[in-house]
Structure 1
Amino acid sequence: MTVYFIGAGPGDPELITVKGQRLIHSCPVIIYAGSLVPAAVLEGHRAETVINSAELHLGQIIELMRTAHANGQDVARVHSGDPGLYGAIGEQIRHLRELGIPFQIIPGVTAVAASAALLECELTLPDIAQSVILTRYGDTSPMPPGESLGSLASHQATLAIHLGVKHLARIVEELRPHYGSDCPIAVVHRATWPDQDWVLGSLDDIVQRVQAKGFRRTALILVGRVLGSDTFSESALYRAGHAHLYRP
């Protein structure tokens, strides 16, 4: 018996790994984050038990896993995006280890990757940015020391901010000294869902643009010069005359 933490991807039911889909179809118990995972992801399952974890607290979820373990039933624990990022799996894993219940993590497509695809951009460009910082700006827990938005922004890397759209005006003020008012910024609402939408602007006008759209939750903020630049060096990988293992 194994508990499988499965990344269901950002919303599009086709953006799940073959392995993740196979496990959803084969596990007799499914516990899924119904507030973030579309029902279409579960299509084709043959599970005896399907439970929406949005209605449960941690203790109840662990009890379901403990019962499945006692019955010798594999569990598909389905999370949105990639479970290793803001998936709240760490606390579940801690309990499973204490109970001696085996588990595996099945990666998934992140909202960051989905948003970059929608914006038709590469988040790392030569001469512009070679680093991507993923962070959050929520109210539920404080940021650890050294992870304030200003300190992260000081690197001027491409920045992906989760859970921050309702604080957008405050975020812009913290970013402006580091990126400049003309820096491109995008806000992507429900990437890959049927009602997906996004807006691209600058730190100078993004607040007004997002207000016009009416985005209030379930949106990802992307910041950085990679969003608005077509002036950058070509990568060494495909450059004529650059030798490597496969192209001597």
Structure 2
Amino acid sequence: MSTVSLKPAVYIVGAGPGDPDLLTIKAQKLLASADVVLFADSLVPEKILQFCREDAEILKTADKTLEEILPVMVERVRSRKSVVRLHSGDPSLYSAIHEQMGLLTAANVPFEIIPGISAFQAAAAKLQVELTIPDLVQTIILTRISGRTSVPEREELASLAAHKATLCLYLSARHIEKAQQQLQLHYPEDTPVAICYRIGWNDEKIYLVSLGEMASCSHRENLMRTTLYIISPALNAREARSRLYHPEYNRLFRSDA
């Protein structure tokens, strides 16, 4: 992988769900060029670091607080070094970058965000499914259940479940009974659920069960963290046809017969 010339700044990089092959080309170039790499070692596998410079400073942050991490990033940038801050999945989703960006801005430290593949996308690929099926489901909801981090009342799971859309449930394995009960208020009992554990890691596991088995399977397999749930009728959809490539669909780049 070729390197690039980096200015002193913090590069907030989405590491994807765990598989190094799912890193973006830009993420690989940044890792190959950065002076310093900070990564949450409980969420980002160390094999991602294969792209880093041999002389790069590598810092693990799983046991660190933001108050410990931020001064390191600020000091390194002020020392004219480039810093990659590796986050699992995509930084825009449940990555706690909002407060980091605010503090970096307050410290007058430049930063850039590089998107990554989210777990729900990698899981759909593994399952070989499209999550938006014509005439069946056209909406994807990414959410979590209230736990140590609260969810606004208007976004309570039972309320979102009423849409019966494809629902991707993050960070909820420890409260799976409560989640199942709220989902059952609207989804049929036999709605398929994909339970996706550590997608992209060497020990990934995927279980396809009914909504009624969601909690019992999670407990049986001892899935307490790093688990994504996809609840969707799309998981067992029958044949459906998109209009986009239909011969009767007129589109800009297709000449009329």
* TM-score range for the pair, normalised by the shorter chain length: over 0.9
Q: Which amino acid aligns with 1:222?
A: I
Tell me by how many angstroms 1:138 deviates: 4.9
Distance in 2 separating the partners of 1:31 and 1:205 = 39
CA–CA distance in structure 1, aligned partners of residues 41 and 30 of structure 2? 17
Amino acid at match of 1:171: A
Counterpart contact for 1:25–1:42, Cα < 8 Å: no
Q: Identity over the aligned pairs, expressed in percent?
A: 38
Partner of 1:41: 48
Partner residue of 2:33?
26
Confirm or deny: 8 A CA contact 1:200 1:206 kept in the other structure. no
Aligned mates of 1:224, 1:48 — CA distance in 2: 43
Q: Secondary structure at the match of 2:141?
A: strand
Q: Distance in 2 between matches of 1:18 and 1:24?
A: 10
Structure-2 residue corresponding to 1:122 = 130
2:85 corresponding residue in structure 1? 77
Q: 1:186 and 1:48, CA in 2 relative to 1: closer, same or farther beyond 3 A?
A: closer
Residue identity matched to 1:125: I
| Mean Cα deviation higher: 161-170 or 69-78 | 161-170
How many angstroms does 1:104 deviate by? Answer: 0.5
- Note the 1:116-155 alignment, pairs <5 A: 116-155=124-163
Q: Is the 8 A contact 1:199 1:210 kept in 2?
A: no
Q: Which moved more, 1:34-43 or 1:223-232?
A: 223-232
Correspondent of 1:161 among 157, 160, 169? 169
Check the 8 A contact 1:188/1:199 in 2, yes or no.
Answer: yes
In the other structure, the counterpart of 1:14 is: 21
| 1:195 maps to which of 199, 203, 221 | 203
Match of 1:223 in 2: 231
> 2:106: which partner in 1?
98
Count the aligned residue pairs.
247
Q: Which residue does 2:183 correspond to in 1?
A: 175
Runs (4 or more) in structure 1 with deviation over 4 Å come to none
Note if contact 2:28-2:51 (Cα within 8 Å) is conserved in structure 1. Answer: no
SS of residue paired to 2:215? helix
SS of the equivalent of 1:55 reads: coil
Residue 84 of structure 1 aligns to a residue whose secondary structure is coil
Mark the runs of 5 or more structure 2 residues left unpaired by the alignment: 1-7
- Cα distance, 1:231 vs. partner? 4.0
2:244 alignment partner, one of 233, 237, 243: 237
Q: Which is further off, 95-104 or 205-214?
A: 205-214
Tell me the CA shift for residue 88 of structure 1.
0.7
Shift of 1:140: 1.8
Question: Which of 88, 97, 101 is the matching residue for 1:89?
Answer: 97
Deviation of 1:55 after TM superposition, in Å, equals: 2.1
TM-score (norm 1): 0.95
Gaps of 5+ in 1: none
Q: How many angstroms apart in 1 are the aligned matches of 2:84 and 2:165?
A: 36
Deviations 1:106-143 (A, max 9, x none): 00010000111111111111111111000112522111
Distance, in Å, in 1 between the alignment partners of 2:200 and 2:66 is 28
**Which residue matches 2:254?**
247
* CA deviation after TM superposition for structure 1 residue 243, in Å: 1.5
Which among 62, 67, 79 is matched to residue 59 of structure 1? 67
Of 49, 58, 75, the match for 1:50: 58
Kept in 2, the 8 Å contact 1:122–1:226? The answer is: yes
SS at match of 1:198: strand
Partners of 2:80 and 2:235 in 1: how far apart? 49
**Contact 2:17 2:117 (8 Å CA) reproduced:** yes
